[in-house]
Structure 1
């Protein structure tokens, strides 16, 4: 509710010399007081001037253009010289939004016969106003902040886009929509981010609109391109408008759309304001005061331009398959990259939510559970027969290979199914499930901007469930995101809290396990056997990528098998999956390409 206009005139005390008799008040003071009182109450101050109509019009223009809610004036000093007086006073405007605009001004008064009047000129309202000018309040828009990736690259920044309008009263809507659709398809040959439209459906929508129909939005270059292509088509209008734009439209478009909607308010900043001297036509002559706009701080997201591009290029080397990769920063939980091929996109957010048997990558958890609950170490001697009957379930290694009795480290590096099926079978119900949760698998996360499912591990009350779970089969399920969480925990020593958007207001909520520090001895042992997978085992395909710790996996399902690799290098954890991709060497090859892209090789 707007406040009532308050009139307040504060008159400074004028000190007169005291003598035998008291002089009469200076009448110029009274005239100045009356003018300021009328000006403050937004009454008819023009009547106190020598040009009432013009004065009143210009005073009203300032009051209205300032959207003033009140005015306080204070008469500071009056100097009289014969029939001319000069009055100094203070103006303090009460503006919308608890803003104030205060300044000193001056007026000249003249005496004609016995009456004093204010000599009207624009400077009475402000010392910097010229002829035919008035005071005006204007908003100073805050520039939108930038969304910055974890490597410092701008992922969203203030820019320009074009909105395309169709005049529904002009021409054949069906024909217009078809022409737009054809041109968009032609543009898409050079820019995959150009949107498409269903011409028939859009024409039907437009038919329901009286006037202009908003057809679509395009980035600046796309808008200019379509505008040139459609220059001879009547009824189209291209409106340029401010918007948050992506420097790289092809960069994680689905995730960036969600980020944009989440952080929209965070990017706005605080608008400033200014009072200007404006002409009667509304042109700004000069700025007289105000407050600068405050740009909001940049919004940080965990995605890395470099890592995302490297991952996307790597999965696209297998564009014939459903390939996906999730990369995280173990020390912070930041999600650095989520990459999928177009075929994988057909299944939605498969990298984050798809549920697949993890195969032998799950042996990371089985090995750690054995270390925690059975006292196993990398040097423990375990059996690795080619096949083994465990409670009636025949477990077999790949091509029935056998290592006989061997060290746990070697059984892990060579990926013995029989070894880890036995380890898991010998665990108590719930122990493997609890270990999985320590590593984030089976924990639900509420990550702002992303929907995720890590996976699930059975409690194993039935022995067969424990047997099959030990090597990532049976009821074990995981997403690439879930396995990236497992690798991140192995790298950091505690389950990190994953996030996409930085700042406490976007903090991730975890349902279930706390990220407690894992026991150092078992953690060091786990890292040792994961390193052996690369140096002397099934993950040698990434040996050239540096000090990588990993675990391969081939998960058998009806109709084939999934190809997996998960692990970490330094402060970078990853999980790669090729749906029905066959042996783990294929996921290993994609991951090696990722590291080559990342390292510039």
Structure 2
């Protein structure tokens, strides 16, 4: 082929370019190889097996560290994936972390892996128990990669195939129990004595649990104990509280809209069985143990005792008109109550007691000596100063009265008489058991009593019991007639211009109690609360 200008093309694979530079033509001849070097094309990609792009292979030391890190962080998946049997390792590690979940764990590689061996430091902590050991790790290579050779001994060197570790806890138990040996917390201690109990026992009820770490087989059965730390018990304290009685008392008062409280003692011993107050009682800053209230007709237990001690009997003839005049004072009965026939309205003392005749007991008290009511009160526990570990109490007081009018109003609970629910529970217990009652809250810690005297004679108390029983069969608490063996006395105590306090005091079986509903306006609600309480405890 001939080009213009007479130039001949020498080879078929030769190309010509004419480059313009200014007005000058430059002829360049390139071979095909030169074209390939200068022509545009895709970017260079090194081969995939190039050392420049391949991640650096993990060393045996890297893998051992990864296993130790996964072990310490309780991550079974992370630890297992660097072993040569991830499935088995995941299952075993998941189980041991579950079995030891209440323990703290630290783990780290002991130095660096040397050749195909490494060692991991492990330390389990629980309470005062500390178990530290080393785990040898065998490193193996497969397909050019390092891995921890999996066996159950990678958890603990003494584990055989299928075995694991387990943390066992032996509860130290509470250092405080109820009368039946059941553990108690401060939340279950009656509110009225919680502060006193805390002070008596130092406030700390939590004993120290014991712990052990054991090897267990696939069924969870202990094979071998590796480490053990015995628990420690503090000095054990037992309250005389009965859980059933306490719960029943609390339920009974919680069912009352207004303020209410129940104090219950074991009648035969004086031990405190339960003390319950509801939120309305608590919000008034009232105390069933130290707070004192006018007793109303419940004080007729004392007046009847004094009268019998001075020659009367339950069958003695007394008078119960609707009103009676003593000195300048006119004393009425509640509503239009009168017993017997006119003109003198004669009746037996036990009947006047059952129907709570104020005019009868005002006359009886007026005819007593100045100190006769306070003496009988002391015999029944009122006015006695008890020093009871775990609780502060005030039973109340009945003052001596030289004036017959003062004695008269004291005789039916509307004078200067002041008693606590605790004090009236002591009275009921004394009537029941026939001897001076010494209350107790903490077993093994004795109560001391100041001003305590011998209880009234059996002959006197037998008659008082008979009268208290009649109250619950035909008298003012006859709503409890269906509860056999219930003894008691109702009381309605006038309080200034406000609604009267309602009382019911008594005992059934071996439980002596006092129920007070401040400002309930009558004794009826207190009788109902007592019935709920007594039916619950059976």
Q: Same fold (TM over 0.5)?
A: yes
Alignment of 1:10-21 (within 5 A): none
Partner residue of 2:534?
Answer: 595
Residue in structure 2 matching 1:155, options 167, 174, 184: 184
Give CA-to-partner distance per residue, 1:82-109, whole Å, 9 cap, x none.
xxxxxxxxxxxxxxxxxxxxxxxxxxxx
The structure-2 alpha-carbon separation of the partners of 1:395 and 1:254, relative to structure 1 and needing over 3 Å to count, comes to closer
Shift of 1:260: 3.5
Partner-residue secondary structure (3-state), 1:449: coil
CA contact (8 A) 1:453 1:479 kept: yes
Partner residue of 1:386?
Answer: 322
Partner residue of 1:263?
Answer: 201
Alignment of 1:164-243 (within 5 A): none
Partner residue of 1:372?
Answer: 309
Distance 1:448 1:410 in 2: 41
Shift of 1:553: 0.6
Partner residue of 1:318?
Answer: 256
Partner residue of 2:438?
Answer: 497
CA-based RMSD of the aligned residues comes to 2.8
Partner residue of 2:396?
Answer: 455
Shift of 1:348: 3.1
Shift of 1:451: 1.5
CA contact (8 A) 1:142 1:268 kept: no
Residue in structure 1 matching 2:275, options 319, 338, 362: 338
Residue in structure 1 matching 2:239, options 301, 319, 332: 301
Partner residue of 1:402?
Answer: 338
TM-score w.r.t. structure 1 length? Answer: 0.55
Distance 1:270 1:597 in 2: 36
Distance 2:252 2:287 in 1: 17
Alignment of 1:450-529 (within 5 A): 450-503=391-444, 506-514=445-453, 516-529=454-467
Partner residue of 1:358?
Answer: 295
Partner-residue secondary structure (3-state), 2:364: helix
The structure-2 alpha-carbon separation of the partners of 1:567 and 1:521, relative to structure 1 and needing over 3 Å to count, comes to same
Shift of 1:523: 1.0
Give CA-to-partner distance per residue, 1:33-89, whole Å, 9 cap, x none.
xxxxxxxxxxxxxxxxxxxxxxxxxxxxxxxxxxxxxxxxxxxxxxxxxxxxxxxxx
Residue in structure 2 matching 1:146, options 165, 168, 175: 175
Shift of 1:444: 1.2
Shift of 1:401: 1.5
Distance 1:398 1:270 in 2: 60
Which blocks of at least 5 consecutive residues in structure 1 are unaligned? 1-140, 157-245, 273-284
1:555 matched to 2:493: yes
Distance 2:309 2:207 in 1: 51
Partner-residue secondary structure (3-state), 1:376: coil
Distance 2:192 2:422 in 1: 16
Distance 1:143 1:394 in 2: 66
Partner residue of 1:177?
Answer: none
Distance 2:240 2:392 in 1: 15
Distance 1:332 1:359 in 2: 27
CA contact (8 A) 1:382 1:419 kept: yes
Shift of 1:372: 0.5
CA contact (8 A) 2:175 2:233 kept: no
Shift of 1:518: 2.8
Distance 1:513 1:383 in 2: 33
Distance 1:299 1:250 in 2: 14
The structure-2 alpha-carbon separation of the partners of 1:335 and 1:150, relative to structure 1 and needing over 3 Å to count, comes to same
CA contact (8 A) 1:151 1:306 kept: no
TM-score w.r.t. structure 2 length? Answer: 0.61
Q: Which has the higher helix share?
A: 1
Partner residue of 1:569?
Answer: 508
Number of residue pairs matched? 353
CA contact (8 A) 1:355 1:478 kept: yes
Give CA-to-partner distance per residue, 1:203-222, whole Å, 9 cap, x none.
xxxxxxxxxxxxxxxxxxxx
Partner-residue secondary structure (3-state), 1:318: coil
Distance 2:182 2:188 in 1: 14
Partner residue of 1:586?
Answer: 525
Distance 2:319 2:256 in 1: 37
The structure-2 alpha-carbon separation of the partners of 1:450 and 1:379, relative to structure 1 and needing over 3 Å to count, comes to same
